[in-house]
Amino acid sequence: MRLHVAQCLSSVMLVTGVVCGVSLMPPATRAGESAMAGDAGAVSKGDHVAFIADAQSIAANRAATVNLHFRVEPGFHINSHTPKSDMLIPTKLVVAMIAGDPEVTAVDFPVGTPFAFAFEPKQKLDVYQGDVVLMAHVKAATGQHSLKAELRYQACDQAACYPPKTLAVEQPFTAK
């Protein structure tokens, strides 16, 4: 299965993010809309970002949305989907399009928040901190499904930056 996913990632890769900054609702507010799993939100050492899978239901056979919840470790930030410099690595979601899985047509990224390093106050960055929710637009037949993707991001704290990372995402949901 893993191989199958890897093959699909490389051959039928859908780089999402064509729709960005659509949702203006603060990510933290949206993150609180559904119950989080038990120990969800724990960030693996060195990753600085965690994916939080939660139970979600959508209407079957029509356009719907599935939320993808991420949590950035306190004291850290990641670049938004639209950082204000071509040198910075934007946060992106790569969705695995697997035959028989739900169709993902687009992903909305939240707007970032302005951020400046204390040592470079004039350079305003656009970042995500705390809870971040991406909204995937899907269309799925009745039944249990799973949205599989990879979040690509690059984190920094107040004085240092960490190499770009890839975080595996698997969000189960039910289409009724």
- Applying CB under 8 A, among 123, 143, 166, 168 the residue interacting with other proteins is 123
Which of 176, 175, 171 is CA-nearest to residue 67? 171
Q: How far apart are CA 85 and CA 70, in angstroms?
A: 23
Asked if 49 and 153 touch (Cβ cutoff 8 Å), the reply is yes
Smaller CB separation from other proteins, 30 or 84: 84
110: left (phi over 0), alpha (psi -120 to 50) or beta: beta
Burial of 101 (0-12, 13-18, 19+ CB in 10 A): middle
Residues 15-34 that bind other proteins (CB under 8 A): none
Measure the CA angle with vertex 10, ends 70 and 72; round to 5°.
15
**Position among 6, 13, 22, 161 found at the interface with other proteins (CB under 8 A):** 161
CB of 157 to other proteins, least distance (A): 5
| Segment lying near other proteins (by CB under 8 A), choices 33-41, 91-99, 104-112, 160-168 | 160-168
The only residue of 24, 121, 144, 176 in contact with other proteins, by rule CB under 8 A: 121
- Does 3 participate in binding other proteins (rule CB under 8 A)? no
Residue placing its CB nearer to other proteins in the complex, 32 or 164: 164
Where are the strands (E) in 34-142, listed by range? 49-52, 57-58, 64-72, 77-79, 92-96, 103-109, 113-115, 125-128, 131-139
Query: What six digits make up the tokens of 162?
Result: 């960490």
Q: For other proteins, which stretch binds (CB under 8 A), given 4-12, 41-49, 53-61, 168-176?
A: 41-49
Closest CA to 107 of 67, 61, 51, 154: 67
Least Cβ distance, residue 159 to other proteins (angstroms): 4
Q: Quote the least distance from Cβ 43 to other proteins, whole Å.
A: 9
Shortest Cβ 59–other proteins spacing (Å): 40
- Cβ contacts of 120 within 8 Å, gap of 6 or more: none
- Binds other proteins (CB under 8 A): choice among 26, 162, 172, 174: 162
**Binding residues for other proteins (CB under 8 A):** 45-46, 48, 73, 75-76, 86-89, 116-121, 123, 125, 154, 156-164
